[in-house]
Structure 1
Amino acid sequence: MTKLTTKLLLERGLPKSTQLRNLNTLNLSKLHLKSQDLDQELFGQLENLEELDLSDNLINKVPDGLKLPCLRVLNCSNNQLEDVTSLQQFSHLEQLFFEDNLYVTVCDNYKVMYLLPNLLRLNNKDVRSQANHVRLVNTIELTRRVHAHWEKTYRKQLPQTLSAASIKPIAGKFVKSAILEVKYGPSSLKDFTKWRVKQIAEELIASLLSPKEEVKEKDAAGGDKVQALPVLRSPSKKKQISGIEFSKASPSKKPHPHHSPVPVSPVSKRSVHLRNLSRRCNQVPGSSEDCNQNEMAASIQNIPRKSETPQHRKHSQQTAKRSRQGLSEEEPLTKTARALQAGGQLHHGKKDLSTVPRKNGKNKEVIHLEPLHFLQSHSRENSREDFKTQLWSCAFQPCLGDSFGKESVTVATCGGDSVCVIDCETGKVLKKYKVAKEEFFSVAWTCLSMVDTEGQRRKFNVLAAAGRLGIVKLIHVKANFCYGEIKAHKKPISVLCFSPTQETFLFTGSYDKRIILWNIGVPDRDYNFKASQLLTLETCSTPLRMSLVPACPERYLLAACENGCFAWEIGLEKREGRRLFDFEFQFPIYEKKDKDNDFHLVDGLAFLNQDLVVSKSCMQGSLYLWSWTRSLKAQEKKNSKRINAAILAELQWSDTELPYLTLSTCPEQQHVFCGDEKGRVWVYDLNHHTQKKPFDEGKMAPSQILSWPSLTIKGQKQVNEIMINNVTVDPAFKYLVALTDQNIVAIWKII
């Protein structure tokens, strides 16, 4: 036992007389240990050790030969691990933690699941189902493909007399060829696949020289079943950082005097520091039943947000809220993240429904909403004190063709480094996908048809998510699998939009001042897909919201941008692959003069029906309801690109200067919703609005205003001064979901 290790044990309170062999747990965290400090002689005496904590050290590899036959729990979090294959020596390991290791990738997660036969939980996520799939299904399929590659190309090259010397040249070529040619699964698991292919190929060569070592057993039908041979060796791993190039600079752009294209989140008096609102995901009771088991944990490198001086707070509030920091690779996570639980109890008061009289609305009935769930599901590193992560986009999952008549109660939300899929009825987080150092700004759904292993064409929902990194993640939610990514832009992606008629057509809007139309293709049974770029639309500024015109979705795209509202012809029959806008819509707010402000920023846009559009400009204090067709008719007379929007009504809204408070519509119920800087949701019932009325200079009052309920922690501290960034309702008009700037997903039930 080295002097260093002896000293460390004494510092941990271990009496000199204590016999090491009787130790069950040992905590060696935060001691700046390196790999060479883990003395084999010392650990050889810990024959009954069951739990070992090596977190918060400088270990780059767990040394071989530590001889811990009873070890069941190992914590290697926050180290510098580069190779995880040495962990196979702990064959009885049941729980493993290695979060916050910069060089550990998704492929390493798969490696440890394969190498550790008794592993139950990885980074506190139940991985039994996933691990069984890796050890059995994955191995069987890779073995079949490697053997097929051997039979097709190399078996005929074998000499008549087999020996190590005669087979060596062929073996070397075969192993290299197999690594290059045998493919299976998504590209994100390419390194793991190569690692396993090399092992299987080497085992095949070894079996030729020692055929008696191949283990066989009888299957249920009486035939022979080849059992997977043990791992012969583990190749060394090169240093890598999850496939992300850190050399790329953060998106930069000459700042506008009044609104930054890459805004920074303000730290203002709205920031509150409350404790115990929500429990950590890994502390939720019964979470193993609530969550899908085919999940794995991600390595997350947290980058703290930059603080702002008091002098900059007012400017930041008036110009921008979005924080643009962080970069890294992606992994699915899952846990129930409900805030309404013991130990972190969140209470809501009565249904706080303040209603404002609506002009000419005497016979209108307000909608009644019951506060249902308030979730802190996007916390960075699952911190219960994270009230700074801002949530930006939410969208309800569409119902599949075979689910006709069923209502969608599942909503996808994004913010910070994660995307969550939430059941609105139960408040459970069904899926959670995290990308270290990412900040997601937009999510969008589409429905694709894929041919399964039985040759049957089946529909499935795909969720696209993108943000700070400029990369679109494509997630097969039901399979709980991120099957691919599209490196769409070099700068952050601000908004996503799928075509309602062409399910594979995805529009991506970016801070590089472009909107790109992609054909994301349909993945095959092995999740291989090919995305292609079809069209590029020049925007002159950052697009913030997009919508295809419902009456002609194959022809026109409408976008709200930082310097106005524009429309493009998107028909692919034209040969131009890069296009400028065709129309720019003008609004009365543009005529407002202010030397300190620019009123051309349009940050809200949505269609209410086939013709009516609702839009909002920053600092407008209202929403415009205008007609698409009437506007185009006026353009035909003037023959000009700049046309006045045919405004039918102006809807009263909050008098705020804060941008990026997004509006939404429910076409099925002819309702408009928009949150504000005080945690309120403004509701407009336009069912009986007539388009024949001329534009009235007065503002139409909302049908009602939904106020933020009284939320407290254990009846003591309140959660208030909330800002609603986004709000949406499901098509069946059963749930209203609001996203806040304080990491709270609020769900109301419409009753």
Structure 2
Amino acid sequence: MNRKMKQDTKTLTVNLICQVEGSQRLHSLRALMLSDYGLKDLPADILKHMKSIKTLDFSRNNLTTFPEVTLKTLETLDISENNIDSIDFVKNLPNLKQLMVEGNPNIQTSHKIEAVLKCPSLMKIDGDDLDSIHRQIQHIKEKWKLQVQAKFEVLYEDRFTEDMSEEEFQKAVSEFKAIVRSDDLFASANSETEKIIIEQLVTEVAEEVRSGRHFRSDVQTPQTPRSARLSRKLSATSPKTSATTPKRNKSRNHSSLLDSPTLKMPQSPISPISTPHNRKRRRDSDQGELTQKSKRDRKYSPLTWMMRKNTVVDHDLISLPSVPDYDPVYFLRCHSEGNDPSDEVTKVWRCSFEPSIEDPEKTTNMLATCGGQTVCLIDCNTGKVMKRYKDSNKYECFYTMAWTTVQLNNNRKEKTNLLAVAGQSADIKLVHPSQFVMYATLEGHRKYVSCLTFHPNHPTILFSGSNDRKIIIWDIGIPNMRDYTVLFKKLHVLQAPDTDALNLVLSMPSQTLLAGCEDSCFGWKADNIKKILRDPDYQFYLPTVSSDGESNVSTARETVDGLAALKNGYVVNKCVGDDIISVWNVKDQLSNNDKAHKRKVKAHIRSVGVKPAALLHYTTQDVDYINMGTNKEMMVVGDDSGNLRLYNINELTNRKSKSCDDIMRPSRVLEWPEIAEGPMKQFCQKEVVIVNSACVSHDGEYIACGTDNNLVCVWRQSRDSSEEEMILD
């Protein structure tokens, strides 16, 4: 056919096929090459008769659509260099192996992903293998699978029983599919690709239910939020997950440690400690091969914990007001990989008491902890692990968490607590603690997330700091408690200059966001979240203390691994390698520096020399990522020897801020209990215990900490201050 005749062609006809292929027998046609014929229309009535077609080439035409026609034998389709804007038609090509779509201006990568999802037989697109596309699909599936499973549990788990009929089963599954197809359930799915994947996940979950692999009454799947609940049946029958509640009497206190009849000793008891010269986040390292000791070879004997409470600080230091004594009551190992009680490699990075819904100034006795793949909720009254969420990503390691209390969007004005957790995967998971359902995932950071904090006055505003040197401000929204629908959004991305944030604090009297970083401390004006600047407004130069006790403003850059908010606008900070903890008032520092000078570090960043209102004696150590906990009257911080230092800061934060060079000793030091004898002695040696974080309840009744050797330690205010022996049954 000559060029002019090609240009005059607009529609595919039988006559055209005859001229090109020499036959009108469409049913036996195996290949049709019509490249560069100026075609604008492909009638479905013609294509549907091609029962044996394997190859179609309609490249370099003027096609805008490909007809909705089923071609079961088609293996290769070339529609490159047209004006196609949808590839939904591939769902009708069940044996398609190669697809060429390049040169269509409206076809994007997302369309190619859709093609792979709708046509599983595809092997190549535009001549390329599909490995990268399959990786993208897997990533999106990981994002949504837990949420689909969690919502299935919440909405339909109770309806599935072993004796339900096939009709009842199909009805329940169909209802759930209808809900997921609606815009309400997954409104945050912002692309057609995600919606397709969610639809497929619903089918997968339904098939798992059908096959009995999911939601059986006697099985809890380790990879779903449902499995996060500890099996009461297992706890009652197996020593592997049982903890003994101590029976207190006048002469003895009893503590409990998660024990197992089988001891497994790691070859390497602890991972190397980081130093300021090589500061990398301490990882949960591999345990290597484990050796077993048979249950029948063990001889059980009482485990005696002798409390050593002699002071370890210099008596020449200024005294702070006293605080009550505390007794260790529960030591739990609930973050172990594979529920192995001898796992002393997993690190418990953070712990935090749940806020009271009725009074935001108070806490409950429920303690949240995170480490490894696991988040636990522990009742400090009983020492029981009430709920446990394990992430499906085996490479996840949770480093941080934050609580918030939100008012639900209902007529009853109910409130509920929400928990945000994040870590190595760079994704932030939102968890509803009453069901321990992970209902949303916030994606925005490129590297691991080190810190999270919620705005004190705006409970849905979340700040996250990451190793990618970004601080992201989110609005996490308020979930619908019926189906956990939620709309969240990213509000701003802040830049920490050449460093990454380790802790975030909002100081409300000065309306300032503080970031304790690997390299200095920075601040942003946060009085108007909508207008917050990308780069920080302030760089705070923290004090150093010379040997004679005089404090000076440091010009060296410090790693601020501890930062916490106190009342009345005060904050407390700790730097790696320093044996002094500084207490200072943010608003007063900004006011004083306004009067003194306005030297800028760079651009609009103003330097602020911090003059502390109090200096607290700590201990010299090079271990980093040790976080502090506070309530209105007390601050608690651990160290690299398992000790907890308690400081009564009530008077410090009530008085008028003024510079002070006096160094104050801790109000009390709680030393790591020394194990005199017993089967758990090998797991809790004092020299390997690093306290990663500590927290204190609002009334000071409980103190909790998480350690580097996979322990959650709960201390309770002593009923009397006499030294006592503790027996672990």
Mark yes or no: TM-score above 0.5.
Answer: yes
Write the letter of the residue equivalent to 1:636: D
- Where does structure 1 lack aligned partners over 5 or more consecutive residues? 1-101, 115-121, 150-177, 203-229, 235-241, 244-278, 292-304, 327-341
- 2:705 maps to 1:738: yes
| Residue pairs, 1:32-51, within 5 angstroms | none
CA displacement at 1:713 relative to structure 2: 3.9
C-alpha separation between the residues in 2 aligned to 1:574 and 1:715? 53
Write the letter of the residue equivalent to 1:580: D
1:587 to 519, 537, 542: 542
CA displacement at 1:306 relative to structure 2: 13
C-alpha separation between the residues in 2 aligned to 1:309 and 1:573? 42
- Where does structure 2 lack aligned partners over 5 or more consecutive residues? 1-138, 214-222, 225-229, 243-265, 287-297, 548-554, 600-605, 719-729
Q: Percent identity?
A: 26
1:380 to 327, 337, 352: 337
Write the letter of the residue equivalent to 2:465: G
Confirm or deny: 8 A CA contact 1:550 1:611 kept in the other structure: yes
* Number of aligned positions between the proteins: 497
C-alpha separation between the residues in 2 aligned to 1:406 and 1:586? 33
CA displacement at 1:630 relative to structure 2: 2.0
What per-residue deviation string (whole Å, max 9, x for no partner) do you get for residues 46-93 of structure 1? xxxxxxxxxxxxxxxxxxxxxxxxxxxxxxxxxxxxxxxxxxxxxxxx
Write the letter of the residue equivalent to 1:396: F
C-alpha separation between the residues in 2 aligned to 1:741 and 1:609? 30
Larger mean CA deviation between 682-691 and 373-382 belongs to: 682-691
- 2:648 maps to 1:685: yes
With normalisation by structure 1, the TM-score equals: 0.57
In 2 relative to 1, CA 108–469 (structure 1 residues): closer, same or farther, beyond 3 Å?
closer
Q: Which residue of 1 aligns with 2:609?
A: 644
- 2:704 maps to 1:749: no
C-alpha separation between the residues in 1 aligned to 2:407 and 2:303? 43
In 2 relative to 1, CA 180–642 (structure 1 residues): closer, same or farther, beyond 3 Å?
same
1:551 to 506, 509, 518: 509
| Residue pairs, 1:381-400, within 5 angstroms | 381-400=338-357
Larger mean CA deviation between 543-552 and 437-446 belongs to: 543-552
C-alpha separation between the residues in 1 aligned to 2:162 and 2:366? 27
- 2:703 maps to 1:703: no
- 3-state DSSP of counterpart to 2:577: coil
In 2 relative to 1, CA 531–358 (structure 1 residues): closer, same or farther, beyond 3 Å?
farther
What per-residue deviation string (whole Å, max 9, x for no partner) do you get for residues 619-663 of structure 1? 111101122122111221212310111212211111112221222
What per-residue deviation string (whole Å, max 9, x for no partner) do you get for residues 95-132 of structure 1? xxxxxxx9998969999999xxxxxxx9xxxx985855
C-alpha separation between the residues in 1 aligned to 2:661 and 2:388? 47
What per-residue deviation string (whole Å, max 9, x for no partner) do you get for residues 449-473 of structure 1? 3346xx6443211111000011111
| Residue pairs, 1:156-167, within 5 angstroms | none
1:322 to 274, 282, 299: 282
In 2 relative to 1, CA 195–585 (structure 1 residues): closer, same or farther, beyond 3 Å?
closer
With normalisation by structure 2, the TM-score equals: 0.59
CA displacement at 1:368 relative to structure 2: 1.1
Q: Which residue of 2 aligns with 1:659?
A: 624
Larger mean CA deviation between 134-143 and 728-737 belongs to: 134-143
- Structure number with higher relative contact order (C-alpha < 8 Å, ≥ 6 residues apart): 2
Q: Which residue of 2 aligns with 1:440?
A: 398
CA displacement at 1:546 relative to structure 2: 0.8
| Residue pairs, 1:287-686, within 5 angstroms | 319-323=279-283, 347=303, 349-355=305-311, 356=313, 364-401=321-358, 408-435=364-391, 436-451=394-409, 456-524=412-480, 525-540=482-497, 541-552=499-510, 555-572=511-528, 575=531, 579-589=534-544, 599-637=557-595, 638-640=597-599, 641-667=606-632, 669=633, 671-686=634-649
CA displacement at 1:343 relative to structure 2: 9.2
C-alpha separation between the residues in 1 aligned to 2:615 and 2:380? 32
2:236 to 267, 271, 285: 285
In 2 relative to 1, CA 144–706 (structure 1 residues): closer, same or farther, beyond 3 Å?
closer
CA displacement at 1:352 relative to structure 2: 3.5
What per-residue deviation string (whole Å, max 9, x for no partner) do you get for residues 276-322 of structure 1? xxx9999532589x99xxxxxxxxxxxxx998999x86858973452
In 2 relative to 1, CA 464–196 (structure 1 residues): closer, same or farther, beyond 3 Å?
closer
| Residue pairs, 1:40-439, within 5 angstroms | 131-132=160-161, 143-144=174-175, 194=200, 284-286=235-237, 319-323=279-283, 347=303, 349-355=305-311, 356=313, 364-401=321-358, 408-435=364-391, 436-439=394-397
C-alpha separation between the residues in 2 aligned to 1:441 and 1:194? 32
Write the letter of the residue equivalent to 1:665: T
- 3-state DSSP of counterpart to 2:589: helix
Confirm or deny: 8 A CA contact 1:351 1:371 kept in the other structure: no
Confirm or deny: 8 A CA contact 1:351 1:709 kept in the other structure: yes
Write the letter of the residue equivalent to 1:626: W
What per-residue deviation string (whole Å, max 9, x for no partner) do you get for residues 458-493 of structure 1? 321111100001111111110221111111311110
Confirm or deny: 8 A CA contact 2:150 2:437 kept in the other structure: no
C-alpha separation between the residues in 1 aligned to 2:362 and 2:656? 36
- 3-state DSSP of counterpart to 1:409: strand
CA displacement at 1:699 relative to structure 2: 2.1
Confirm or deny: 8 A CA contact 1:374 1:744 kept in the other structure: yes
In 2 relative to 1, CA 564–345 (structure 1 residues): closer, same or farther, beyond 3 Å?
farther
C-alpha separation between the residues in 1 aligned to 2:519 and 2:714? 33
CA displacement at 1:447 relative to structure 2: 1.4
- 3-state DSSP of counterpart to 1:636: helix
- 3-state DSSP of counterpart to 1:731: coil
Confirm or deny: 8 A CA contact 1:544 1:559 kept in the other structure: yes
Q: Which residue of 1 aligns with 2:88?
A: none
In 2 relative to 1, CA 719–482 (structure 1 residues): closer, same or farther, beyond 3 Å?
same
Confirm or deny: 8 A CA contact 2:506 2:512 kept in the other structure: yes
Confirm or deny: 8 A CA contact 2:336 2:710 kept in the other structure: yes
CA displacement at 1:570 relative to structure 2: 2.5
Confirm or deny: 8 A CA contact 1:423 1:429 kept in the other structure: yes
- 3-state DSSP of counterpart to 1:353: coil
Q: Flag the structure with larger Rg.
A: 2
CA displacement at 1:742 relative to structure 2: 0.3
In 2 relative to 1, CA 283–408 (structure 1 residues): closer, same or farther, beyond 3 Å?
same
